[in-house]
Amino acid sequence: MKIGRNEPCWCGSGKKYKACHMAFDDKIEVICNKNKKITRPTPDMIKTPEQLDGIRRAGEINSKILDAVAEHVKEGVSTGELDRIVAEKTKELGGIPAPLNYEGFPKSVCTSINDVVCHGIPDDNRFLEDGDIVNIDCTTIYEGYYGDASRMFMIGDVDPLWVKLVEVTKECLDEAVKIAQPWTTLGDFGYLINKRASDNGFSVVREIGGHGCGVDFHEDPWVPHIGKPDSGCLIVPGMSFTIEPMINVGKPNVYCDSDDGWTIYTDDGSPSAQWEYHLIITENGNEIVSC
């Protein structure tokens, strides 16, 4: 459907299309017509300035909650206790923990230890032990907007290979963030994440990815952590999404715990690490809104 030059823009600004997103849409058309492997972002992926401000505020609160829980991530603390800390801090800051009751998830945060890839459920009987690696994944709703990020923590004396896994996973994320620029593609950074992981002897989880985030918890686009350069969704200013690579020491295959319906494990029992940042794409680059 083509919008007339003098009709109102699809973005809701109230401006005429020609004075608003017309040049932007033309640029997308030129790129996607030239290369059929590049897909067009849909209008819902492009946030308004007002939405972007809301997402920034939610992201900032979410990072503060991660900072608060980080102080308690030590040997001997239960993941159930970490969940209570997240719930309390979120409330104190005026937010809502997005995981709680999300599609039936029972807790306020995900705590994923060792061979748990993601979506680990906090447990009063699971105490962090010397040698564990744990991902803490917080998502916060603040004034209706979402911020989502996760960090890894190493408890005490960790196996050097596992330390390397945690470090390489962070490098994969940092490299992706550096090149997640407007007018590049999701495939451009997916390729680099997979390359860096495999160059280090590790593998990238394929079934689970990052996601558009901000107006809702999980929005389009789906963000794979593998890919080919110059393919996949085009990245444009106004997008808001996460990059959250899950990297395994062993095989990439994973399965979901059939009892709790949430916990994702590596098939081969090898450890897995994950870091997640939430980004906004700007005219000239990106902004990390939660980390």
Q: Which residues pair with 266 in a beta bridge?
A: 254
Task: Name which of 86 and 233 has its Cβ closer to ligand MF3.
Answer: 86
First to last CA, the chain: 38
Structure tokens at 168: 């390489």
Judged by CB under 5 A, the chain residues 226 through 245 that form the site for Co ion are: 242
Q: What phi and psi values does residue 138 have, to the nearest 5 degrees?
A: -110, 140
Q: Where are the alpha helices (DSSP H) in 160-224?
A: 160-179, 186-199
Tokens of 59: 């992201």
Sole binder of ligand MF3 in the list 221, 244, 263, 264 (CB under 6 A): 244
* Shortest separation between residue 151's beta carbon and ligand MF3, angstroms: 12
The CB-of-76 to Co ion minimum distance in angstroms stands at 25
What values do phi and psi take at 125, rounded to 5? -100, 5
* Residue 148 within binding range of Co ion, rule CB under 5 A: yes
Least separation, in Å, of the C-beta of 99 and Co ion? 8
Of 62-70, 78-86, 98-106, 263-271, the window that binds ligand MF3 (rule: CB under 6 A) is 98-106
CB atoms within 10 A of CB 146: 27
- 139 contacts ligand MF3 (rule: CB under 6 A): yes
Cβ pair 54, 284 in contact under 8 A = no
Find the residue with minimal CB distance to ligand MF3: 99
Q: Is residue 278 involved in binding ligand MF3 (CB under 6 A)?
A: no
Residues that bind ligand MF3 (CB under 6 A): 99, 102, 105, 110, 119, 137, 139, 148, 242, 244, 262, 276
